[in-house]
């Protein structure tokens, strides 16, 4: 099961900006077997693909801006091919789209992109935060609206983030179970037990990952992407602790 754990590279954005190849090699030495792409930091996709091949690190999808999905789709697919992944996710919405009209536009844009590339096996998805629970669209919270099929049955694949579900006041496992969709990649992110409810290493906070992993293994989750938006110390140390804790948890799965 360890091969399904992928380090989400946003956690290491400062390290990547200084030395992307060296950081990937460090993750491999640490014991990671996969990563999730979140920007190339002025490196070419060919350069990064070369290091992935050298280290044997697999790619658990890519986080891509909505603008690139709408206007640079051909290059996104080229990068996906180089990184040997079929999944990519719109990873954030600007403030002006965080409203009813914006969510309608986003859903339409992502489904139109999906229709263009589905025959080639690619999948377009959406990675959320907590703000998608704060707007109602067609009688549903915006996140449910985004993940519901359109009239033709087309759907956006979910990438559920455990921290942001809990931040919105929901139980992560219950919300995951409520979705009528496969979830190829789950985002594992822990929350501190204190009133601040900030980010924590996996297994050091308040979220029950054992139950989530058990669900994931029964429901064909391909990868678990581990992310920590902010770390008190070294992000590499935080990822090392998260990986160690996850390996311990898997002994009970």
What are the domain boundaries of the chain?
2-250
Assessment of whether the complete model's pTM goes beyond 0.95: yes
pLDDT of residue 17: 97
pLDDT at res. 213: 98
155-196 per-position pLDDT tens digit: 999 999 999 999 999 999 999 999 988 999 999 999 999 999
Residue-level pLDDT at 181: 86
List, for the chain, all residue ranges whose pLDDT scores fall below the cut of 50.
none
Q: For every residue of the chain, which 3-state class applies, written as one string?
A: CHHHEEEEHHHHHHHHHHHHHHHHHHHHHHCCCEEEECCCCCCCHHHHHHHHHHHCCEEEEEEECHHHHHHCHHHHHHHHHHHCCCEEEECCCCHHHCCHHHHHHHHHHHHHHHHHHHHHCCEEEEECCCHHHCCEECCEEHHHHHHCCCCCCCCCEEECEHHHHHHCCCCHHHHHHHCCCCCCEEEECEECCCCCCCEECCCCCCCCHHHHHHHHHHCCCCEEEECCCCCCCCHHHHHHHHHHHHHHHHCCC
Top CATH class of 2-250 equals alpha beta
């Amino acid at each position: 099961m360890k091969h399904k754990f992928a380090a989400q590279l946003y956690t290491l954005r400062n390290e990547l900006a200084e030395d992307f190849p060296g950081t990937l090699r460090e993750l491999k030495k640490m014991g990671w077997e996969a990563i999730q792409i979140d920007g190339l930091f002025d490196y070419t996709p060919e350069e990064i693909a070369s290091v992935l091949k050298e280290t044997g690190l697999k790619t658990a999808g890519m986080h891509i801006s909505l603008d690139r999905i709408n206007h640079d789709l051909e290059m996104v697919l080229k990068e996906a091919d180089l990184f040997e992944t079929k999944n990519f996710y719109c990873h954030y919405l600007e403030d002006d789209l965080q409203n009813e009209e914006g969510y309608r536009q986003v859903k339409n844009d992502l489904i139109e992109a999906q229709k263009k590339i589905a025959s080639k096996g690619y999948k377009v998805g959406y990675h959320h935060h907590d703000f998608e629970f704060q707007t109602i669209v067609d009688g549903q919270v915006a996140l449910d609206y985004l993940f519901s099929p359109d009239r033709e049955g087309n759907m956006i694949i979910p990438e559920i983030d455990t921290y942001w579900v809990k931040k919105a006041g929901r139980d992560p496992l219950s919300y995951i179970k409520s979705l009528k969709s496969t979830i190829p990649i789950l985002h594992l992110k822990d929350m501190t037990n204190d009133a601040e409810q900030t980010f924590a290493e996996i297994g050091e906070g308040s979220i029950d990952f054992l139950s989530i992993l058990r669900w994931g293994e029964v429901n064909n989750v391909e990868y678990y992407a581990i992310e920590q938006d902010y770390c008190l110390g070294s992000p590499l140390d935080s990822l090392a602790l998260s990986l160690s804790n996850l390996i311990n948890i898997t002994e009970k799965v």
